[in-house]
Structure 1
Amino acid sequence: MSVLASFLLASALAVAPPPPTLPAPALPPPAQETLLEIPPELRHLLQQRVVRRSQSEPERLQRLVHLMFDSDGLALQYGASDTHSVAESFATRRINCLSFTLMFVALARQVGLTARAQEVGQALAWYEHDGLGYSYGHVNVQVRMDGRVVTVDLDSSVLVDRRGPRTIPDTRLFAHYYNNRATELMAVGDNAQARAYFVQALRVDPKLVDAWNNLGLLEAREGALNAAAADYTQALMLDPQYASAMSNAFNLYRRMGDDARASQMLVRLQQVRVRDPFHQYTLGMEAERNGDYASAIRDYNSAIGLYPDAHQFHFALARVAFLSGNSALADRELRLARSLGPPGDQQRYQAKLESLQRLRQANRQ
């Protein structure tokens, strides 16, 4: 009897399904005080390559830039999803605008420069993944030296807000770090870890609108629709003009079958978008991709009317004007783009302008 019982028990155990694999618990995000820590080897490099070889603040700034990017220095490489602490950036040699800002602020202070992070209120920088739109802000560095202010930016091509950048405390920069990491984790499906980072971002700075908006995306992805709605509501309480949260809330209300709130949010969104040069520019890009140059010219003109100093807008209008055969408009807009753009872009626009002039002369012959 005991043998049979043992056999039956063994048989039952043999055919029983394995226990479900539980997701690994989320690890706590790194502490704030670790994000700006400089590894000893990097401190030594700073002492050897920057401090000992430079006397003035401008020279230290220049040597610091060379150390970070030259092939005989750190040779840092850009990666959109490479949000790292200073130590991680040093180990991987990869950065994005957030990692760059963390690293440059830390290293500049280490060599005696007065450096603070700057936040751009709105930037034309976003992407989609799995049908979700992730909103990205932009940060760079302000350095004060010799009675003047210098902005150091990893990406001069980013189209920034009309209001310009504003300096922020380190805690705000840390909140951006946690929010960035959370969106990267959400993009690869690690929702539990992403939530831990969103929670940390909002613990550090409860007024970080991007974090509320992106947390709403996470809640919606997981089916917690009421929680997502509350997150979007909080984002819009902090910034009533925040178009990304309006767009996400509109889609959420439609998903919930709440047509009344969806209609109200759509009206609010349209009122904001008609005054938003970034949205008008995006409409122009879409029309241009579709070969609808007349609509693209109209939309780019609308963007310029709202933000006349954006050299990217003028260059886009010049491009579609040329494609549509309006060489006079293309010539004028290229000149404006060249006059408004930074030195690197001025050279590029000058080359485009000269190519356009050569083509016009060839057509006249």
Structure 2
Amino acid sequence: MTQALSTPERIPQRIKAAVPNSAERGGLRTVAGIVLLILIGFFVGVLSGCSRNHQAYFPDLAQRDISREDLLSGRSLWGEAAEELVLPEDHVMRMSPQMRAFLDRYVPGNYADPMKIRAILEAIISPGALGMEYDRSLTFTARESFRRAEGNCLGFSYVFVLLARERGLKAYFQEVEIPPDWTPAAERLVFVNRHINVRVDTRIGHDMVVDIDRANVKPFYPVRRISDKEAEAHYYSNKGAEYLDRGNMKNAFRYFVKAVRLMPKSSAFWSNLGVFYRLNNLPWHAEKAYFIALKYKPSNYSVMTNLAILYEIQGEVEKAEYFTGLAKRYQQKNPYYHYYRAQEAYNDGDYQATLRHLRGVIRQKIEDYRFYDLMAEAYIKLGKQDEAEEVLAKGADYR
């Protein structure tokens, strides 16, 4: 997945509202292992009219003479020297002899499927075996994650899938949509959560999910199966974000383009490329990349926010207001934005406002017990014990 950068000092006041934050203060940290680079906002949900033709609304948008290959070539930044920028090939999911020897030692091939799954997991995480340590900030290939015995959710998932398949298991990758956490912008780069885990089909009638970060992943979070190619593309996008954070623009470009080449219809990876061009002072290249991203996902509202910022900086006030308005409307549709506002009100001691922010989303039957817990706490502060118990009873169904 992948996408998020921000230069807060240049974010227009009109749209400097709430930023979904998954970066730890003081540096590049990915909460769940996949970086989703955006400039300021990430909005989920669907609103009627989201697929409107923005280029028809602003006819001049289609007049820029910038092609996809222009964006992917790098010529606008490095001229003929861009021909020397060979795309990386890091062999993200290649087994090593050491991995096969490890598997032979710890996971007998005659185990039943559930026992194989448990044995592989125990061998990876147990201190007496591999003892892999989870570090959200480290994006490695499968071999490097195994050799170093550390990595984020991507590295763990690469290792587990390869070992599982070597033992004849049907293992594949899943993307978990972790809700954004809105906090004020305070960093040069802002990163949005995505998380990868593994699902294994067994021959006994049910699947098993394997996850190195169960503490941050809830059963009610939406998941979708992704291909090996997409799982690899997330590695390249993450590495591109790391290089961008360090100011290594050539490597950032190489890795971002590699992700796009692997998944040319991914809105997220085109959006990353737009962020790259925006930070390299090529605004119309960024604009082109953002509109390609919107073509593949018209509901990618982080791209709309990026466009609003881009146009504000370029002095294109009408366009900035147009995309800012769209982004704000989608934000209001996001239950987690209202949860953030309810938390703010609760911390300020305004318990009535806490309830106002939560009542609407509670009616949507959000399957997240935290909404109900916070509402119950507000009722308790107001001395309404019966209402608190009623809300807690409703939320118990989602624990």
TM range (shorter): 0.7 to 0.9
* 1:51 is aligned to 2:108: yes
What's the CA shift string for 1:38-87, capped at 9, x where partnerless? 222221121121125x5210011111111111221222222222111111
Q: 1:140 to 1:74 in 2, by over 3 A?
A: same
Match of 2:142 in 1: 86
- Contact kept, 8 Å, 1:27 with 1:193, in 2: the verdict is no
TM-score where L is the length of structure 1? 0.76
Gaps of 5+ in 2: 1-83
- Contact kept, 8 Å, 1:50 with 1:64, in 2: the verdict is yes
Query: Shift of the alpha carbon at 1:319?
Result: 4.5
Which residue identity is paired with 2:89?
P
Indicate which of 237, 254, 269 corresponds to 1:211: 269
CA distance in 2, matches of 1:69, 1:120: 21
- Contact kept, 8 Å, 1:277 with 1:307, in 2: the verdict is no
* 1:296 is aligned to 2:354: yes
Q: 1:47 to 1:164 in 2, by over 3 A?
A: same
Query: Shift of the alpha carbon at 1:117?
Result: 0.8
- For this pair of structures, how many residues does the alignment match? 314
Which residue identity is paired with 1:51?
P
CA distance in 2, matches of 1:187, 1:269: 26
- Contact kept, 8 Å, 2:87 with 2:257, in 1: the verdict is no
Indicate which of 113, 119, 123 corresponds to 1:63: 119
> Which structure would you say has the larger Rg?
1
Match of 1:135 in 2: 192
CA distance in 1, matches of 2:144, 2:382: 48
Deviates more, 1:316-325 or 1:189-198: 316-325
CA distance in 1, matches of 2:344, 2:250: 35
Indicate which of 286, 294, 298 corresponds to 1:236: 294
Match of 1:97 in 2: 153
CA root-mean-square deviation: 2.8
Which residue identity is paired with 1:38?
M
Gaps of 5+ in 1: 1-24, 342-365
Q: 1:288 to 1:231 in 2, by over 3 A?
A: farther
- Contact kept, 8 Å, 2:182 with 2:340, in 1: the verdict is no
Larger RCO of the pair (alpha carbons < 8 Å, separation 6+):
2
Query: Shift of the alpha carbon at 1:156?
Result: 3.0
**Helix, strand or coil: the match of 2:198?**
strand
Q: Map of 1:1-365 to 2, 5 A cutoff?
A: 28-31=87-90, 34-52=91-109, 55-120=111-176, 123-124=179-180, 130-145=187-202, 146-158=204-216, 164-306=222-364, 308-322=366-380, 326-341=384-399
- Contact kept, 8 Å, 1:101 with 1:140, in 2: the verdict is yes
What's the CA shift string for 1:139-187, capped at 9, x where partnerless? 2211100222222223334467978322122111111111122122222
What's the CA shift string for 1:336-355, capped at 9, x where partnerless? 444422xxxxxxxxxxxxxx
**Helix, strand or coil: the match of 1:62?**
helix
**Helix, strand or coil: the match of 1:136?**
strand
CA distance in 2, matches of 1:320, 1:247: 33
CA distance in 2, matches of 1:38, 1:202: 24
- Contact kept, 8 Å, 1:186 with 1:194, in 2: the verdict is yes
TM-score where L is the length of structure 2? 0.70
- Contact kept, 8 Å, 1:123 with 1:158, in 2: the verdict is no
What's the CA shift string for 1:173-231, capped at 9, x where partnerless? 11111112212222233232111111000000012222222222222222211111222
